[in-house]
Chain A
Amino acid sequence: AQTVTQSQPEMSVQEAETVTLSCTYDTSENNYYLFWYKQPPSRQMILVIRQEAYKQQNATENRFSVNFQKAAKSFSLKISDSQLGDTAMYFCAFMKHNNNDMRFGAGTRLTVKP
């Protein structure tokens, strides 16, 4: 079974600074997908960024980027120029290729301070 570990239950960052959220996973699969989802307070969970395991290039979406280390089974999320609206719960998730079973980490609660 795949497991996803987020070792930082809570983090905080000053507005405009950079923060990195950690995620590690355990799998014997070679082809899979990794995701970071954001859940703002009292709002719907939305996808932040996605990485396909066969792609070596790290995914980037505006201020959000990942550091995907396949051999180390690590998938961290970097948020640059943090904004107050980035305050949310962030979940790392894993999904095998051609499979609907998405595995989530326990989440990291990020607070952006003014």
Chain B
Amino acid sequence: DVKVTQSSRYLVKRTGEKVFLECVQDMDHENMFWYRQDPGLGLRLIYFSYDVKMKEKGDIPEGYSVSREKKERFSLILESASTNQTSMYLCASSLAGARSNEQFFGPGTRLTVL
């Protein structure tokens, strides 16, 4: 089974803090994604990466950056957390070129910024 893990299930941070959300997958997937999930809005793509050190902006990259130094790990960084970044963050991975295009999700990190 594909396993995607995220470093924290719940996180509480203060406005202005630098926040790191970590995601690790164990199935040698090339593609990794960061989404945020908000009620009534579904999932929105923040960034994705299709290879080590490669990244592409999604729909809502403002206020976020990412890092992919190793194939299995994709980090989301909030340089200076703000209250409007309070949300559920989901990481996903998928196999490049796979006909199924299925994305496998982590359990999510619920971030609260006070």
Interface set of A (CB-CB < 8 Å, partner B): 4, 6, 9, 33, 35, 37, 43-47, 50, 91, 95, 100-102, 104-107
Query: Is there contact, CB below 8 Å, between A43 and B42?
Result: no
Distance of A35 Cα from B100 Cα, bound (Å): 10
Residues of B within 8 A of A91 (CB): 42-43
Instruction: Confirm or deny: B84 has a beta carbon within 8 angstroms of a beta carbon on chain A.
Output: no
**Cβ 8 A contact of B101, one of A9, A33, A46, A107:** A33
Segment of B11-19, B64-72, B75-83, B102-110 engaged in the interface with chain A: B102-110
**In the complex, A37→B100 CA distance in Å?**
14
Q: Which of A6, A91, A106 has the most CB of B within 10 A?
A: A106
Contact assessment for A100 and B48 in the assembled complex, using a CB-CB cutoff below 8 Å = yes
Name the B residues within 8 Å of A106 (CB-CB).
40-42
* B82 → A minimal CB distance (Å): 23
Q: In the complex, are the beta carbons of B42 and A104 less than 8 A apart?
A: yes
What 1/0 mask marks residues of chain B from 23 to 57 whose CB sits below 8 Å from any chain A CB? Answer: 00000000101010000111111001010000000
Please, how many angstroms separate the alpha-carbon atoms of A44 and B92 in the complex? 10
Beyond A50-B100, A100-B31, whether A44 also contacts B50 by CB under 8 A is no
* CB-CB under 8 A for A45 and B42, given A50-B100, A50-B102, A100-B48: no
Asked if A44 and B101 make an inter-chain contact with CB atoms under 8 angstroms apart, the answer reads: no
